[in-house]
Amino acid sequence: MQPPIPTGTVLQNRYRLINLLGQGGFGRTYLVEDQGRFNELCALKELTPPQTGYGLGKSKELFQREAQILYQIEHPQIPKFRAMFEEDQRLFLAQDFVEGKTYREILDDRKSRGFVFSEQEVVQLMQQVLPVLSYLHEKGIIHRDIAPDNMILRDRDKLPVLIDFGVVKEIATRLQQSSTNHSPTTVGKLGYAPIEQMQTGNAYPNSDLYALAVSAIVLLTGREPQEVLDDNTMTWNWQRWCQVSPEFAQVINRMLSITPNQRYVSATAVEQALAGRSSVGVQQTIAPNESPNFPARPVIPSSMATIAVIHDNDDRLEPPLPGKRSPNAIPERTTLWDDPWAIALIGIGLATLTAIGIWALRRPSKPEIVASPDVTVAPIAPTLKPSIKPTPKPIVKPSEMSESLDITPDKPTSRSGKLTANQTLTLNFAAKQGQTLDAAISGEGVLMTLSRPDGQLLGDRAKRVPSWLGELPLTGDYSIQLKTVRNVEKSDYKIDLKLVDPVKPTPTPTPTPTPTSPTPIPNPGNPERVLFLPGTTTSVISGSANGQQVKRYIIEAKAGQLMEITVQGAKFNVIGPSGNPVPDASNRSAWRGFQLPVGDYQVEIVTPTPADYTLSVTVQ
């Protein structure tokens, strides 16, 4: 393989290489500026084919054919093909650059904070991707590599974009086969691609639907396909790891059918099935003591997980020739009359019904009563059964309750009671900007949603959660909505609330340094390890800083623990065991982390001026 092209090189007097973004066994991806289009950024994919013989000619042939197909794709949720060219015996393909994060990156970020995707989010993703697949399938193109890595949430419009319509992996796979070897080409991610694609190389439109369903359960559960697929029975045990509506689970399970003819026939059919389900969105949260333990690059179309777009004869949705079955046709569903056992059972059933009918006709009827001239027979009044009408079930209308709370700073407030499935309780309270709110619900049957005075959620981790800790951004009336967990008819609840005022440090005069005074130490001695008394989970440390020092404390975290840190009178940063800053834990006065990696965490206390501070650490 030839070496990478140096940064700054201009190809075709147009594409200036900014940096190398990815490299695999068969090619590379570069971020380049298109100087012919006002220096727009684009992704440039390189394939380094064999330099001589059959491989070089075949590479160019396949590259040309696939580029022509990509040129035909005109969809706003697919990176647009720009150009293909050859230079220095290297083949290049230019496509639009997509700014955003892949759904794999978004999932990894959420898992690090104890969250995964909700049903509502996954349904929305599917409803936005399915029309794209319908567009491709109508053109005879099968993606073959649907996965969270190959879908980007575009920054500018928040729409999912299908990436990796490149040719590197497809061409490389074909070049590994000899010219006389007709074994099928296999492209797709293990665990995401269905069995017909991985074993035989055949792919149908609903092979993409299978991969989309696998991607959905990965986003819902935060677990890889190998963790939820029983390879002995080939059944998916994904519902134990998340909570979704039965209608949505039915759609996903049908998309995951092992044989193609049991799945939905098209992406449009899945759209219709999703539209007919009841609208339910359940926020998936990983609690600190739950059993699942979840094990930045510029976001561009990746060249190392490339998608096969069209294959020699196995991806076109063409009608079969007369007398010949199309290799792309989805196997026909077997009818009842093709099963001899079914025909035999139907015959036995008909014979039994006939015998019963003959017996009913030939059995003796009741004797008639003939009245003699001297006897008067009174007619027998028919016995009327009383009409019993079922008592209709009362219609339970949802009820909403509201209560105003007067929370005194630094004084804990609690509320308790019962909630039923049709009830919603909203607690309103006034708070000031900069105050720290600590809210937690005891029990497992009720969750809360916190809203700001402007009606927006109080952050991305404030919907349907059991606890919340953080600094309030505005002054005004906040609200906490309490509702039962889905499928729970009635539950007790207790909510504990506490507001903490920010501590304003009292400025002290800074002594004027004399020529003989020592230079202030920015990083004093060894960090102090936070210790906990036996039987306790919270440690409180008071200290002071002169505004020129950084006080450091070491906290040990074990597997599956929850860590809460609050500081009054100062701000703090958290450094993880790897030596890197912990996301969302910089310049904070309060922070809470779930499912943290095992190891020592370092807390840095920062004060711009001399001040006293109080550090509170809880690990449980």
Cα three-residue angle 100-146-274, rounded to 5 degrees: 95
Three-state helix/strand/coil letters over 553-570: EEEEECCCCCEEEEEECC
Q: How many CA atoms lie less than 13 Å away from 417 in the CB half-sphere?
A: 14
Q: Quick check: is 88 catalytic?
A: no
Which residue stretches of 521-596 are H helix?
none
String of DSSP letters for 75-111 = -TTSPPEEEEEEETTEEEEEEE---EEEHHHHHHHHH
Give 617's contacts (C-beta < 8 A, 6+ positions apart): 530, 538, 539, 540, 541, 553, 555, 563, 564, 565, 603
Number of C-beta neighbours around residue 291 at 10 A: 9
> 32: which strand partners?
17, 42
> 30: which strand partners?
20, 44
Catalytic: which of 34, 96, 145, 315?
Answer: 145
| CA 202 – CA 327 distance, rounded (Å) | 8
> 390: which strand partners?
none
> 44: which strand partners?
30, 94
- Crossing angle for the helix pair 119-138 and 267-275, to the nearest 10 degrees: 150
Going by their DSSP bridges, the two strands 436-442 and 467-471 should be labelled as: antiparallel
| Region of residue 394 (phi > 0: left; psi between -120 and 50: alpha; otherwise: beta) | beta
| CA 133 – CA 144 distance, rounded (Å) | 11
Structure tokens at 513: 């340094």
Q: Do you know the residue count of the chain? A: 620
Task: Output DSSP code: residue 286.
Answer: -
Q: Going along 231-299, which residue ranges are E strands?
A: 235-236
| Residue 542: closest CA among 575, 518, 560, 566 | 566
Amino acid type, 527: P
| CA 87 – CA 71 distance, rounded (Å) | 20
Cα three-residue angle 272-278-279, rounded to 5 degrees: 100
> 572: which strand partners?
588, 605
Catalytic residues: 145
